[in-house]
Structure 1
Amino acid sequence: MSRKSIFFSGVTAVSATLAALQPRVHAAPPAPASASTRPNILLVMSDDMGFSDIGCYGGKIRTPTLDRLAGNGLRFTQFYNGARCCPTRASLLTGLYPHQAGVGLMVNPRGDLPGYRGQLVDGCLTIAEMLRPAGYATYAVGKWHIAPSTPDARANWPLQRGFDRFYGTLAGAGSYYDPATLCRGNTFITPENDPEYKPARFYYTDAIADNAVRFLREHARDQAASPGQPARPFFMYVAFTAAHWPMHALPEDIARYKGRYDAGFEAVRAERHRRVRELGLIPPSTRLGPSAQNWADIPDADKAWEARCMEVYAAMIDRMDQGIARIVAQLEADGQLGNTLILFLQDNGACAETLGMGRGTPRASNPKRTRDGRPMRTRHGVMPGPDDTYIAYGPGWANVSNTPFREYKHWVHEGGISTPLIAHWPGGIRQNLGGTLVHAPGHIIDIAATCRDLAGAAYPDRRDGAFVLPLEGISLRPAFSGEIPRRTSPLCWEHEGNRAIRDGKWKLVAKGPKGAWELYDMETDRSELDDLASRHPDIARRLAADWEAWALRAKVKPWPWDDQPIHTPAKKKNSKNT
Structure 2
Amino acid sequence: MSKSPEQENNFQGVIGKTIKDSEPSFEIPNHPGEDAPNIVIILLDDTGFSQLGCYGSSIDTSNIDALAAHGLQFTNFHVTPLCSPTRASLLTGRSQHAVGMRAVSNFRTGFPNMLGHITNQAATVSEILNTYGYATFCVGKWHLAPMEDCSAAGPFSQWPLGRGFDRFYGFLEGETDQFNPSLTKDNHHIDPPAKPDDGYHLSEDLVDNFLAMVGDLKGVRPDRPFFAYVPFGATHAPHQAPQEYLEKYRGKFDEGWDITRDQWHRNQLKLGIIPEGTKLAPRNPGVDAWEDLPDAQKKLAARLQEAFAAFLDHTDDQIGRIINGLRDIGQLDNTIVILLSDNGASQEGGPFGVMHEMKFFNGILEKPDEAVERIDDIGGPHSHTNYPWGWAQAGNTPFKWYKQNTHEGGVHVPLIIHWPEGIEESQNGQLRNQFANVSDIAPTIYELLGITPPDTYKGIEQLPVTGHSFAHLLNNAEAESNNKVQYFEMAGSRAIIAEDWKAVTRHIQGTDYDEEPWELYDLSSDWSECNDLAESNQSKLKELQQLWWDEAHKHGVMPLDDR
Deviations 1:269-288 (A, max 9, x none): 11000000100011120111
Structure 1 pair 192–216 and aligned structure 2 pair: CA distance change class (3 A): closer
Structure 1 pair 36–545 and aligned structure 2 pair: CA distance change class (3 A): farther
1:385 to 376, 379, 385: 379
Structure 1 pair 526–489 and aligned structure 2 pair: CA distance change class (3 A): closer
Matches within 5 A, 1:155-304: 155-180=157-182, 182-192=183-193, 200-224=198-222, 231-291=223-283, 292-304=287-299
Q: Which residue of 2 aligns with 1:502?
A: 497
Tell me the amino acid that sits aligned with residue 117 of structure 1.
Answer: L
1:363 to 359, 376, 390: 359
Q: Which residue of 1 aligns with 2:450?
A: 456
CA contact (8 A) 1:287 1:527 kept: yes
Matches within 5 A, 1:14-25: none
Deviations 1:34-73 (A, max 9, x none): 9962211110010111101111110011111111110011
2:329 to 324, 334, 339: 334
- Structure 1 residue 301: deviation in Å? 2.7
SS in 2 for 1:320: helix
Q: Which residue of 2 aligns with 1:62?
A: 60
- Structure 1 residue 489: deviation in Å? 4.3
SS in 2 for 1:501: strand
2-structure distance, mates of 1:340, 1:491: 29
Q: Which residue of 1 aligns with 2:417?
A: 423
- Structure 1 residue 171: deviation in Å? 0.3
2-structure distance, mates of 1:480, 1:183: 36
Q: Which residue of 2 aligns with 1:568?
A: none
Q: Which residue of 2 aligns with 1:13?
A: none
Larger Rg: 1 or 2?
A: 2
1-structure distance, mates of 2:327, 2:193: 31
2-structure distance, mates of 1:235, 1:361: 33
Aligned-residue CA RMSD (Å):
2.4
Deviations 1:55-107 (A, max 9, x none): 11100111111111100111000000111111111111111111111110111
CA contact (8 A) 2:349 2:360 kept: no
Tell me the amino acid that sits aligned with residue 203 of structure 2.
Answer: T
Tell me the amino acid that sits aligned with residue 505 of structure 1.
Answer: D
1:396 to 386, 390, 394: 390
TM-score (norm 1): 0.84
1-structure distance, mates of 2:49, 2:484: 25
- Structure 1 residue 364: deviation in Å? 9.9
- In structure 2, stretches of 5+ residues that fail to align are 1-31, 363-367, 508-512
2:129 to 125, 128, 131: 131
2:403 to 397, 409, 415: 409
CA contact (8 A) 1:137 1:234 kept: yes
Structure 1 pair 544–310 and aligned structure 2 pair: CA distance change class (3 A): same
2-structure distance, mates of 1:247, 1:232: 37
2-structure distance, mates of 1:406, 1:450: 30
Q: Which residue of 1 aligns with 2:319?
A: 324
- Structure 1 residue 482: deviation in Å? 1.2
2:461 to 457, 467, 472: 467
Q: Which residue of 2 aligns with 1:9?
A: none
Tell me the amino acid that sits aligned with residue 480 of structure 1.
Answer: L
- Structure 1 residue 350: deviation in Å? 0.3
Tell me the amino acid that sits aligned with residue 380 of structure 1.
Answer: A
CA contact (8 A) 2:41 2:230 kept: yes
2-structure distance, mates of 1:490, 1:360: 39
Structure 1 pair 210–199 and aligned structure 2 pair: CA distance change class (3 A): farther
CA contact (8 A) 1:362 1:378 kept: no
Deviates more, 1:209-218 or 1:121-130: 209-218
2-structure distance, mates of 1:365, 1:487: 39
Deviations 1:547-570 (A, max 9, x none): 101112211101333xx4xxxxxx
Structure 1 pair 263–378 and aligned structure 2 pair: CA distance change class (3 A): closer
2-structure distance, mates of 1:343, 1:294: 37
1-structure distance, mates of 2:358, 2:447: 49
Instruction: Tell me whether 1:432 sits opposite 2:426 in the alignment.
Output: yes
Deviates more, 1:356-365 or 1:476-485: 356-365
1-structure distance, mates of 2:451, 2:133: 9
Instruction: Tell me whether 1:315 sits opposite 2:310 in the alignment.
Output: yes
2-structure distance, mates of 1:358, 1:56: 28
CA contact (8 A) 1:351 1:408 kept: yes
- Structure 1 residue 453: deviation in Å? 1.6
Tell me the amino acid that sits aligned with residue 359 of structure 2.
Answer: R
TM-score (norm 2): 0.86
2:486 to 491, 494, 514: 491
Matches within 5 A, 1:65-104: 65-104=63-102
Deviates more, 1:543-552 or 1:261-270: 543-552
Q: Which residue of 2 aligns with 1:480?
A: 474
Matches within 5 A, 1:39-54: 39-54=37-52
- Structure 1 residue 534: deviation in Å? 1.9
- Structure 1 residue 357: deviation in Å? 4.0
Structure 1 pair 103–298 and aligned structure 2 pair: CA distance change class (3 A): same
Structure 1 pair 135–271 and aligned structure 2 pair: CA distance change class (3 A): same
